[in-house]
């Protein structure tokens, strides 16, 4: 496939005439740790050869940079680091075309001649996957890693815990797996539609061995797993195992929304959470741990004698400050293990952050900008346009989602470091990510539908550091990239609308009449205003 069909588009690509024939048996020259990467990602048997027609080397340079040159004589990869080698091989796979994504049956493939010189604009290029609302199998997560790597992304943020399920084995506390990982049934359709419950038990969790495997698999593909344990709200499920540590409505939830349950912000809860984090850190190889901090309902903190006494002993005036105290305590524990905390932007408002905490801005642009101005490293994750749980169009055939729409064109417009921000604030932006929230994504096939191709647009906006050229992206998607996704086994949404079997229908996936909709005005206002409060007095259904 030609050099003008790459996604994300590289910084520079030039084409030449002719092609190189790559086949099992072509010699590969380079240091063993680099040739291993090439073989693994290409999935081709390329034997070592000092005079190999394919060569790979690292000459220390810009992080993640690479040069890939294809001539009729061979293929040269030269990269600034190992991450750059991986990106070069991903670009090579795209040039080979769909065949490169099939796991068996690769024969002789022609690679067009030309050269790519490339590096990313931002360091943090991620996808968030919610495996808490609906459990997704380990194999689905591994496939998601492959799809991230295909788009030269480098972070997988795994939202592992929420009110509807805790997805992590605990060997120290086996009651978690027994009580917190499943629910008897799930609400049908949109939360606002009042269509009852499906009567089907749902659940699952990853063993610590599974998580070690996911982490290693991702690392081999240049991706750091960022595990999230959402605290102190969004903990109804965990509290099924530890009711003595909770306030509000305890137990694995069957429906969506902001629930009243919280883990009590007191020292004994901090201790328990740190024990759970220590187990997780034994198996996930990561410098970052996400502690959540979002949508915490403090209604029941006011009248709880233990919480009130603790707040007073700390000399704190508000529940919001106590939210901040709790998160700081857990982040300080992570720091003793050499880990950096990541938190949703509420924690920035309540003072839950340590100076090196990464603030993940989801409630619009303005709060992210404010955090960056305050000197925090910021990861951009604004609902509009990075939340991929929203409709992809206004078509009546779209399946139920939380609301919408956020179209492919919207996703392409994502501006991770807007020119309107002062330079100092832009410099605080580590990068950004898309979010695949799982309330309305019950399984892998629907995950593919909701994620791709919008994720391609966000990957491109992150790689280049500016909005993607929508028309050109559509040209590259229809001219080549969708065929690559298909060969990779990804059931993406066709550009014209869903396949008949992906449509809304009349059953559990029926489109909601009442889901949230965005007007342009709402979008503008929402992205430019700072949310007033960071903790909520009351639960909320949405």
Q: Which of 76, 78, 162, 319 is catalytic?
A: 162
Establish whether 162 is a catalytic residue. yes
**What CA–CA distance (Å, rounded) separates 162 from 172?**
20
How far is it, in rounded angstroms, from Cα 475 to Cα 477? 6
228 is catalytic: no
Q: Which of 295, 319, 448, 460 is catalytic?
A: 295
Is residue 64 near ligand ACM by the rule CB under 6 A? no
Number of residues that bind ligand ACM (CB under 6 A): 4
Residue 541, helix vs strand vs coil? coil
Please report, to the nearest 10 degrees, the dihedral formed by the alpha carbons of residues 56, 61, 65, 67 taken in order. Answer: -50
Annotated catalytic residue, options 159, 190, 202, 234: 234
Q: In angstroms, what is the minimal distance from the CB of 311 to ligand ACM?
A: 24
Length of the chain: 542
157 catalytic per annotation: no
- d(C-alpha 206, C-alpha 130), whole Å: 13
Q: What angle do CA 205, 207, 208 make, to 5 degrees?
A: 130
| Residue of 124, 135, 344, 463 interacting with ligand ACM (CB under 6 A) | 344
**Of 294, 391, 398, 439, which lies in the binding site for ligand ACM, with binding defined by CB under 6 A?**
294
Is 362 near ligand ACM (CB under 6 A)?
Answer: yes
* Pick from 438, 443, 458, 457: nearest CA to 491: 443
Contact between 295 and ligand ACM by CB under 6 A: the answer reads yes
Using DSSP bridges, classify how beta strands 358-361 and 377-380 pair: parallel, antiparallel or unpaired. Answer: parallel
Shortest distance in whole angstroms from residue 252 CB to ligand ACM: 18
Using CB under 6 A as the binding rule, the residues of this chain from 98 to 157 that contact ligand ACM are: none
Q: Smallest distance, Å, CB 344 to ligand ACM?
A: 5
Task: Using the minimum distance from each CB to ligand ACM, give the nearer residue, 390 or 452.
Answer: 390
- Give first-to-last CA distance, the chain, whole Å: 44
Tokens standing for 282?
């034994």
Residue 50 class from Cβ within 10 Å (0-12 exposed, 13-18 middle, 19+ buried)?
A: exposed
| Least distance in angstroms from the C-beta of 157 to ligand ACM | 11
Q: Name which of 87 and 159 has its Cβ closer to ligand ACM.
A: 159
Nearer CB in complex with ligand ACM: 417/433: 433
Nearest residue (CB) to ligand ACM, 450 versus 482? 450
Eight-state DSSP code of residue 512? P
Q: Which neighbouring-strand residues pair with 536?
A: 297
User: Which x/- pattern over 451-470 shows residues binding ligand ACM (rule: CB under 6 A)?
Assistant: --------------------
Residues labelled as active-site residues: 162, 234, 295
Which positions lie near ligand ACM, rule CB under 6 A? 294-295, 344, 362
């Amino acid at each position: 496939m030609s050099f003008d069909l790459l996604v994300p588009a590289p910084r520079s690509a030039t084409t030449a005439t002719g092609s190189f024939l790559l086949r099992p048996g072509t010699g590969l020259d380079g240091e063993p740790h680099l040739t291993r990467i090439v073989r693994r990602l290409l999935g081709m048997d390329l034997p070592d050869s000092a005079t190999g027609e394919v060569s790979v080397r690292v000459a220390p340079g810009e992080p993640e940079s690479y040069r890939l040159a294809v001539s009729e004589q061979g293929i040269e990869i030269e990269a600034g680091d190992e991450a750059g080698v991986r990106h070069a091989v991903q670009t090579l796979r795209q040039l080979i075309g769909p065949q490169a994504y099939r796991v068996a049956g690769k024969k002789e493939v022609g690679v067009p001649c030309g050269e790519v010189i490339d590096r990313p604009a931002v360091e943090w290029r991620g996808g968030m996957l919610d495996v808490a609302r609906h459990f997704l199998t380990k194999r689905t997560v591994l496939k998601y890693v492959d799809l991230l790597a295909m788009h030269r992304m480098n972070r997988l943020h795994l939202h592992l815990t929420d009110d509807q399920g805790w997805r992590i084995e605990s060997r120290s506390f086996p009651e978690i797996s027994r009580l917190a990982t499943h629910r008897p049934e799930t609400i049908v359709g949109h939360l606002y539609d009042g269509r009852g419950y499906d009567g089907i038990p749902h659940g699952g969790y990853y063993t610590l061995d599974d998580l070690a495997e996911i982490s290693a698999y991702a690392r081999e593909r240049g991706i750091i797993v960022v595990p999230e344990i959402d605290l102190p709200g969004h903990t109804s499920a965990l509290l099924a195992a530890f009711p003595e540590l909770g306030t509000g409505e305890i137990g694995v939830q069957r429906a969506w929304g902001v629930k009243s349950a919280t883990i009590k912000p007191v020292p004994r809860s901090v201790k328990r959470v740190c024990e759970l984090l220590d187990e997780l850190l034994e198996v996930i190889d990561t410098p970052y741990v996400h502690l959540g901090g979002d949508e915490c309902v403090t209604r029941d903190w006011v009248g709880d004698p233990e919480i009130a006494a603790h707040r007073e002993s700390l000399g704190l005036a508000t529940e919001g400050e106590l939210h901040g105290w709790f998160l700081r305590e857990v982040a300080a524990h992570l720091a003793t293990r050499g880990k950096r905390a990541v938190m949703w932007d509420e924690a920035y408002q309540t003072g839950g952050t340590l100076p090196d905490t990464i603030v993940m801005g989801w409630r619009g642009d303005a709060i992210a900008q404010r955090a960056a101005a305050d000197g925090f490293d910021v990861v951009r994750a604004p609902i509009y346009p990075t939340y991929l749980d929203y409709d992809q169009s206004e078509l009546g055939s779209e399946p139920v989602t939380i609301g919408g729409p956020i179209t492919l064109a919207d996703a392409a417009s994502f501006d991770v470091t807007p020119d309107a921000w002062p330079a100092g604030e832009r410099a605080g932006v580590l990068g950004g990510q898309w979010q695949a929230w799982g309330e309305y994504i019950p399984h892998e096939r629907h995950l593919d539908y909701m994620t791709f191709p919008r994720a391609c647009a966000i990957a491109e906006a992150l790689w280049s550091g500016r909005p993607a050229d929508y028309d050109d992206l559509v040209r590259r998607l229809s001219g080549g990239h969708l065929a690559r996704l298909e060969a990779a086994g990804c059931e993406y949404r066709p550009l014209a609308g869903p396949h008949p079997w992906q449509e809304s229908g009349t059953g559990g996936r029926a489109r909601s009449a009442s889901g949230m909709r965005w007007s342009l005005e709402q979008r503008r206002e929402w992205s430019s205003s700072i949310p007033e409060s960071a903790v909520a007095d009351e639960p909320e259904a949405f």
